[in-house]
Amino acid sequence: MSQRNEQSTQSRLEGVSHWLIHHAARQAPESLSSRLEEEWLADLQCRSTALSKLGHALGCCWATVVIVNEYSRVQVPAASRVVAAKGYITLADRNFGYFSLRSGTLFLILGLHATLFCGLITTLSLTRGLAAEPNLSNQVLNAVPIEITVLPGR
């Protein structure tokens, strides 16, 4: 019974691995998509255990992210009438405006942290202000009588 369960788990994991590779290859650039799918599926057969197959499939998903990132950075066809008329395709870097993607992400993270910090400070100051308000009224305290007791032998 447990062996049957194990087999079904393994076949499920292999099914998930196949699906992940199909999915990853579909996300890859069109010119590489079918090649990568065939290559990765062939390499999947070389893995012995279901877990290593799943690891390979997950790795392929990550590889797609890296490949797409590099591919889009290096080879974005830029449509230019003059160049197109001559039958060429020019390659241009993707333009992210003033900042690169990495710098933009850094500024976004810094901005989110600054916003969170400001929000926290503002909330804390408001909470403290409300709590401290009743204590702000002036009160005159009565003089406390001080009794000095002299200890024996001193």
Partner 1 sequence: MGKKDTNVRMSLQTLRVLEAFLENPTVQLAGAEVHQRCGIASGTLYPILLRLESAGWFVSQWESIDPSSAGRPRRRLYRLTSTGLRRASEVFASFNRGVLA
Task: Please give the residue ranges that form the binding site for partner 1 (CB under 8 A).
Answer: 32, 35-36, 38-43, 45-47, 55-56, 58-63, 66-67, 70
φ/ψ bin of 99: left (φ > 0), alpha (ψ from -120 to 50), beta (otherwise):
beta
State in angstroms the smallest separation of the CB of 65 from partner 1: 8
Smallest gap, in angstroms, from Cβ of residue 35 to partner 1?
Answer: 7
**Residue 57 burial by CB count (10 A; 0-12/13-18/19+): exposed, middle or buried?**
buried
Q: Which of 67, 40, 36 is nearest to 54 (CA)?
A: 40
Which residue number, 82 or 132, has a Cβ lying nearer to partner 1? Answer: 82
Q: Which is nearer to partner 1, 55 or 119 (CB)?
A: 55
Residue 21 CA to residue 54 CA, distance in Å, equals 10
Question: In Å, what is the CA distance from 121 to each residue of 112, 116, 125, 133?
Answer: 14, 9, 6, 18
Query: What type of residue sits at position 30?
Result: E
**Residue number, 36 or 50, with CB nearest to partner 1:** 36
**In whole angstroms, how close is the CB of 83 to partner 1 at the nearest point?**
13
**Which residue number, 16 or 32, has a Cβ lying nearer to partner 1?**
32
Cβ at position 56, least distance to partner 1 in Å: 5
